[in-house]
Amino acid sequence: MKGLDEAPTPVEGCWVQTRGAAPRLGIVQRCRRPNGRWEAEVHWGDGQPTWIAVDHLACGFQPGWEIQDVPVSQTRTSLGRGRVEAVRTLASREQVLVQIADSGRSVWLPYENLRRIPGVALCYQRAQVDHPDHAERCRLRMLAHALESWNEVTGALSRLDVDPLPHQIHLVHRILSSNHINWLIADDVGLGKTIEVGLVLNALRSRSARLRVLIVTPAGLVRQWQDELRFKFDQTFRIYGRDFAIHDVAHWRLEDSVIASIDLAKRDDHLPKFRDSGPWDVIVVDEAHKLTRDDRYRAQRYRLVEALRGLSDGLLLLTATPRQGKTNRFIELLRLVRPDLAEQLDYVEAQPDIVREVILRNRKATVTDMEGRFIFHGQEVQRVSVPVSREMRNFVKLLEDYLRQGYRAGAEGGDAGRAIGFVMTVYRKLASSSIAAIKRAVELRRARILGRNPPPANLDRPR
C-alpha cells in the first residue's frame, strides 16, 4: 500500500520528462521497486532506456495528444480514449485535462494513468485500424450520433404517443437550435400547435432534471391542454384553482408544471399570487391574439402576461391570427416575445424581415405528411352564373326600401331606435346568407306585427 505522500506509478506507455532546466522526453516501459523506492524504465528519444526514480519525473503529455485512460485499480473502469486539453499542478501532483471521446465531457486525470495512442489523423495516414469491422463501427457510431443530436433538438424520436409531422419537427428544431425559447407560433388552425409545444417541452425536459413550466390558456381549454400533455407526452400538469390552490407564496415551490386559466389569473385577487410565483423556465400563452392594451377587458390579460414576462427568459405565444389587420396590436405581441428587439419592432412595416426573428408560421397549403404528400388539398371554386328573375329583383328592391326605412327610424328613435337598427343589421346578414333565411325572418316579423301565429317552418329541405 502506497503512502499518501508517495507519487502514483506511471503506467506503461505514459509519457514523462525529467525535471530541470533541460528536460528529456521519454516513454515509460515498466516500473519496479527494488529498495522501497519506485523506479521507472524510460525509453528516451535517443533510443537508450534508463532507470530513473519516479519522483524525478514530470508529466510529458502535450495539449492535442490522443490518450487512453488506463486505471491501475480494478474498482474503476477505463474512461476510454480522449484528447489532452491542458496540464496543471495541484497540491504538487500533475493532472491532465482530458476531453473524453465517447461522452464529450472534460475531466482532470492523474497523468500517471494515461497512455499515449495514435490519433485519428495518424491512423488514417498509416491506414491503421483497431478492428477488422472498423468501417461498420464508424457507420454505426455516426448514425447513433446523428440520431442522438436530432432527438436532442427536436424530441421527435422520443417514445411518445404522437407521430409528429415534418412541419412540426422543423418548427421544434428551429426553436431548440435558436439558443432561446422566445417565439410567436402562428401556425394555421388545425396544424397542431399543442403538439409542437409538447415536443419542445419534452426535448427541454430531456436536457434538464427540473423544468418549471406555466401554461396560460382560456378557461375552456385548460382541461384539453392537461389531457393532451398527459396522454400524448406523459407530462403531468396541475390546473391552478382546480387541482391546487395557493394560500402561501412558499407553496409555489411545490409546483413545476402548471396550467392556469387566463381569466382567473388576471383577476385582482389572483394576479399578485402569480407575480410572486417565482421564476419559470418556459411560459406558454395560448390564444395570444386576445391580448391587447386597447380593449379594457383584454387589457387585463395583457397586464397579466406582461407581469409574467418578467419571471421567465422563455415565452411562447400561440395564435393562428397574430395580425388581425391591426399593426399596433401586432407589434405589442412581438414586443412581449422579444423585448430586446423593441426598437427594431417599432419599424416593422419598413423592416418586415425582422418578423422572421420572432414568428414561426406554417400554412395548410404547404404542410405534408412523412411521404411528402400534401395533407390539405383545398377546394376548387367555380363561378356559376344564375339569372335573376323579375320577382327576385322586385323582392330585393322591397327589402332595400324596408331596411332603409328601418335604419332611418333607428337613427331618430334614441335608445329604442338602436334596437331597431340592430334588427336591420341582422336582416342584412340573413339576406347575404340565403333567400330562405331572410324570407323566414320577414315572415316571422310580419306575423308578430299583425299579432298572428307565425307560419310553420318549411321542414322539407334537402339534407
Asked if 106 and 100 touch (Cβ cutoff 8 Å), the reply is yes
Question: What confidence score (pLDDT) does residue 210 get?
Answer: 87
Question: What confidence score (pLDDT) does residue 309 get?
Answer: 94
Average pLDDT, consecutive stretches of 10 residues, N- to C-terminus, the chain (463 residues):
63 92 90 90 86 92 93 84 93 91 90 88 70 77 76 64 86 90 94 94 85 96 95 94 94 95 94 95 95 77 94 95 84 92 86 90 90 81 86 87 84 74 83 83 84 67 40
Which residue is it, cell 339534407?
463
What is the C-alpha radius of gyration for the chain, rounded to an integer number of angstroms? 37
Cut 0.85: pTM above it: no
- Which residues, 6+ apart, have CB-to-CB distance to 52 below 8 Å? 18, 39, 40, 42
Q: Domain extents for the chain?
A: 15-123, 148-360, 390-450
As beta bridge partners, residue 15 has 27
Q: How far is CA 178 from CA 153, 171, 172, in A?
A: 10, 11, 10
Question: What confidence score (pLDDT) does residue 155 get?
Answer: 59
Class of 148-360 per CATH?
alpha beta
